[in-house]
Structure 1
């Protein structure tokens, strides 16, 4: 079920199957947690419940339910701690750090990212360490600390390069496309838009075909980066690719990207093709 719901958010967005996961946790998983299973089985149930709750938090964040996302990620951290599972606890902390940064809470985001990276260094695989280091890099970049941001990014890339991938386990994998995406976001926060654009393109080249949500969000960020560099024609081509992935997604973040597209292109609506693209976006 963990693999199923992780694949669901990747392909269709957080609004798809979120109610189903909520119901599954309430109707099936919670009774199992209360069933009086032996210590070993109970610990395993707690771990899987924590992982499913992390996914529910991710779905909620992607679907625009901010308060619910924070609640679920905190609950997941408590479940993982009760299970005495530092690896899953690390993932929950990283999720909290990511969400805090998205909301503009830079200091808590940095503290949580540091906690996640520190725990991962002691208890998790190299892939998970890389996963936490990229979030630490982004937090440092938003705090204006370029040296620490680049150091964490270098550490993440080094850890990733020597790790073994296990794509079958959504809680112990970190796709190359995701690494490039986070590198691009860090470089964007540092103001290096040209290098960020190259990293976004690398992410798109490495992205799995079924990862439509991530591809759409990355494409939107690339189009914005190209426009910042004055490359209107390239940006228009990239926005067209975004519109190709958008239909069928149930993702507030993707909808926000669509709104961003209309806003950033509005000053250019007298240029060839721009008005038509804005109209197409409006129709969606």
Structure 2
């Protein structure tokens, strides 16, 4: 007979939850991770009685309590055995990077990395805690690298970013992971002058940020957080404010899209605070995300203040500094739309999304699928079925050319919205077109 789980009972008392509230919170975490759950009060009662929940459910339980209590709760603290199979903690920063990449590049191991959850209690290092810390790396001194090798890392990162923009990250991310393991890891262990090593750390941070961004697109939110944290560490070691702030901003975007608006707000503010001397384009980039985050929490005054700041900064912005992580007028229009929508101006939000589409370069195909899908959803929400179907038709023009988890989820959502309207010939045509594309994939 199982022993009662007194550790879990203590957590439940601390949370103030009823059994039903606890079950619903765990179900929400599972849904966010792509694992539908249907637990109710009786399920929690069984856990308290000593039943160990199946599969990955213990991870969902401790994450639910972590969110409720605003601190990290471990499996052991909840009365469950610690989960095995996760990438181990190493003291060598290169070992950590290689281990993370190996899980992502190997299809047989990728499921382990994908099992990591998005955590709202994750500790994010402040700039003073990472800046200038060029951690000593064991070097076999088998070879020496120079500027040429660093330039190659940056060129590869630009190419992977281009592939992600145009075709989605499903294929590009394992390539990025393999490059991290097989090439960047070797470079990091090579002999180099201090300026070259610092430049390599900066280039590595950029690549880690991009790989995390692609993991978000695929819905691997825990894995994305691990890449983002590594990017912060390497950016700090290189004293690279730009990539450090860009990564924090990416973490804010991830959080707000997952519905963790307060967390997104804090990350967006941290990104802005760490970039006091940012140029106008970077300032627009950061302020736009602050506006989106504050709007999501209902903070109207701050949201409108930051979106205006982003608009003024964009007017002053010069040519972009990078092919990825940069901010264009189409991106600003998207943020304006998000602010309007969160503050109740749904018609204005639609018009701003249309403006974003008009301004977006055709190269950014994955973004077009995502943002035009959002446009159609908002048109549909206002009862404009025919207009929404017209927008979805354009989405379906691009969708077969994109390999992206976020694009797949948008198409599935479109079908669920259209399913009750199949008596409408236009809706039926769009729905069948999506079905045909799925069958031919």
TM-score by length of 1: 0.95
Whichever structure has more helix as a proportion of its residues is 1
Deviation at residue 125 of structure 1 after TM alignment: 1.9
Q: Helix, strand or coil: the match of 1:247?
A: helix
Which residue in 1 is equivalent to 2:264? 109
- Report the Cα distance in structure 2 between the residues aligned to 1:171 and 1:6, rounded to whole angstroms: 6
Separation in structure 1 between the aligned mates of residue 339 and residue 434 of structure 2, nearest angstrom: 28
Q: What secondary structure sits across from 1:48 in the alignment?
A: helix
Q: How does 1:130-141 map to 2 (within 5 A)?
A: 130-141=284-295
How far is 1:171 from its partner?
4.9
Q: Is the 8 A contact 1:90 1:119 kept in 2?
A: yes
Aligned positions, number:
282
> Quick check: 2:246–2:325 contact (8 Å CA) kept in 1?
no
Map of 1:163 onto structure 2: 317
Report the Cα distance in structure 2 between the residues aligned to 1:200 and 1:81, rounded to whole angstroms: 35
**Pick aligned residue for 2:417 from 257, 261, 264:** 264
Q: Is the 8 A contact 2:285 2:310 kept in 1?
A: yes
Asked if structure 1 preserves the Cα contact closer than 8 Å seen for 2:161 and 2:324, the reply is no
RMSD: 1.4
Which residue of structure 2 aligns with residue 40 of structure 1? 195
Which residue number corresponds to residue 50 of structure 1? 205
In the alignment, structure 1 residue 209 sits paired with structure 2 residue 362: yes
| 127, 136, 153: which one aligns with 2:281 | 127
- Do the aligned partners of 2:205 and 2:232 also contact (CA within 8 Å) in 1? yes
Q: Which residue of 2 aligns with 1:4?
A: 159
Alpha-carbon displacement from aligned partner over 1:203-224 (angstroms, at most 9, x marks no partner): 1111111111111111101111
Please list every run of 5 or more consecutive structure 2 residues that lacks an aligned counterpart in the other structure: 1-155
Cα offsets for 1:224-268 (capped at 9, x unmatched)? 111122211111100111111100211111111101111122222
The change in CA–CA distance for 1:171 and 1:271 in structure 2 (over 3 A counts) is closer
For the pair 1:24 / 2:24, whether they are aligned, the reply is: no
CA distance in 2, matches of 1:260, 1:66: 19
Match of 1:174 in 2: 327
Structure 1 residues 105 and 172: alpha-carbon distance in aligned structure 2, compared to 1, 3 A threshold: closer
Structure 1: any 5+ residue segments left out of the alignment? none
Tell me if 1:99 matches 2:258.
Answer: no
Whole-angstrom CA distance in 2 between matches of 1:156 and 1:21: 31
Q: Structure 2: how far apart are the matches of 1:89 and 1:34?
A: 23
* Greater relative contact order, per chain length (Cα 8 Å cut-off, separation 6+): 1
**TM value normalised by structure 2:** 0.62
Larger radius of gyration: 2
